[in-house]
Amino acid sequence: GAVVSQHPSRVICKSGTSVKIECRSLDFQATTMFWYRQFPKQSLMLMATSNEGSKATYEQGVEKDKFLINHASLTLSTLTVTSAHPEDSSFYICSASGQGRSYNEQFFGPGTRLTVL
Amino acid sequence: DQQVKQNSPSLSVQEGRISILNCDYTNSMFDYFLWYKKYPAEGPTFLISISSIKDKNEDGRFTVFLNKSAKHLSLHIVPSQPGDSAVYFCAARGGATNKLIFGTGTLLAVQP
């Protein structure tokens, strides 16, 4: 399968700071990237869908001003959690699909554990 | 409103036996279904998928069955191996978009 990386794998920050998480597709061009969050023992919840070069589409209940998504190239999308608070602590996972890959498949990154103190 | 449900939070199976993981959905517009395997602190790994025009898809030890009338799909793993122990998520794709709706997951434990 395709390789998707995320950086950092783990981040701890103080309340009120902003955190940027990178998602990269390493061996294919990702026309679409997805951002999920997972709370302990719960399912993956889609936060937003981003297409390269256009604005992200956010799911209902997700604050677009708090979770800034940029998909500036076919291999990189970033999620910035602005003014993070303890309730933002979660496991954030990105996935990618795109050219040369089955439209039906999403390839997931390893995830980023965010802890806000 | 949980559109994709996995009613069994956990399942324990003996090594060598069959593991059957179940998933139910409510949206008849879903046209593609996938199963993912996930270890703690890692991203999901794609296992197998099935289109709504089929009722069965097989890949090695993994077989997925789809019953559209019952809005039910299942993943069969045979023979089960200890390395199969993980959380399994089913996911459904809805209509024109490529976004996936995930179930709540089933923790499979394969006992040696």
Cα separation, A105 vs B109, in Å, equals 26
Option in B45, B46, B99 nearest A49 (CB)? B99
- b/e map A85-111, b = 16+ CB within 10 Å: eeebbbbbbbbbbbeebeebbbbbbeb
Q: Can you name the residues that pair with B63 across neighbouring β-strands?
A: B58, B76
Tens of each residue's pLDDT in chain A, 117 residues:
678 999 999 999 999 999 999 999 988 888 889 999 988 778 889 999 998 888 899 999 999 999 999 988 889 999 999 999 999 999 999 999 876 555 567 889 999 999 999
Question: What confidence score (pLDDT) does residue B72 get?
Answer: 97
Tell me which residue of A26, A1, A15, A35 sits closest to A111, measured CA to CA. A35
Option in B41, B45, B102 nearest A44 (CB)? B102
AA identity, residue B79: P
Which chain A residues are closer than 8 Å to B34 by Cβ? 104-105
Tell me which residue of B45, B28, B53 sits closest to B88, measured CA to CA. B45
pLDDT in tens, B19-69: 999 999 999 989 999 999 998 878 899 899 999 999 999 999 999 999 999
